[in-house]
Amino acid sequence: MLYATQADLESQFGAQEVAIAADRDRTGSTDADSIAASVLKSLTDASEEIDSYLATRYELPLATAPGVLTRVCGDIAMYRMSSDRGALTDEKRTRYEDAVKWLTALSAGKATLGLQDATDQVADLPQASSDNPARIFTRSKMGLL
């Protein structure tokens, strides 16, 4: 499941910035198909990275993806595209690092998506009990010691 689209990425960073980061050959090409392919690969990679964090707490694929995942996916995808193409800036690096920190907190249960997570589902299952009554027959009661 992709958490963002090319339109989301362009809305977040601007179409020109996305085109610069997506330019694989650094030729200044504005070929829409080439840009779309590069963006799709980066968004797919970013979504898979997000899933690696989500899988610890949520059953995947998510039924609905909260908007925060669109922003985080955009930050990760833009960082990956920019670092591969030599268009990396301090802002993109900071946004990526912040996204990873938030995903780490999410997987540790310190942040939430507001969805029911997999650990909540375990609480609904029957639980084993260790509250047993005292033993009636023991070695000492039977005089075997």
CA atoms within 13 A on the CB side of 94: 3
Rounded to whole angstroms, how far apart are CA atoms 81 and 105? 24
pTM: 0.77
Give the pLDDT of the chain (145 residues) as one tens digit per residue: 999 999 999 999 999 999 888 887 666 666 888 889 999 999 999 999 999 999 999 889 988 889 999 999 999 999 999 887 778 899 999 999 999 999 999 999 999 888 766 554 445 556 666 677 777 777 787 776 6
Rg (CA), the chain: 25
Rounded to whole angstroms, how far apart are CA atoms 13 and 91? 11
What are the percentages of helix, strand and coil residues in the chain, rounded to 5?
Answer: 60, 0, 40
